[in-house]
Structure 1
């Protein structure tokens, strides 16, 4: 069975960022981010994904990191 899996919790831990901080920076509801972290999202639109990635990269920049976060840092396709 194939599915889309969230990698967001691991990315948040790597950054040391809270869900709330990312939600605020991304301009999305904390509940939306929590659903993604817990693999309860039914859909993810481009605007939301872009906002989350922008927030993650802004936090990384604030920390002096040179890593650029991309789509696989928030979701991935898993084919079992």
Structure 2
């Protein structure tokens, strides 16, 4: 464990980069969470650019939600 100020952090962060494992989770955090996976501001432009490549794999419901809300939304907590 590593202590940074008043926060204890697992040493796993040194070896393990955060990456969604869709094969394992099947999108659980995006479905069960309040607003989906968090997105960095730098990723917003990328999401817009790659949407045409992702769109064929979405459900009709998913495409309709993106058409109504956009490729990304800002949550009540201010996070994308």
Rg: which structure is higher?
Answer: 2
Tell me the TM-score normalized by structure 1: 0.28
- Select the structure that is richer in strand: 1
Tell me the TM-score normalized by structure 2: 0.28
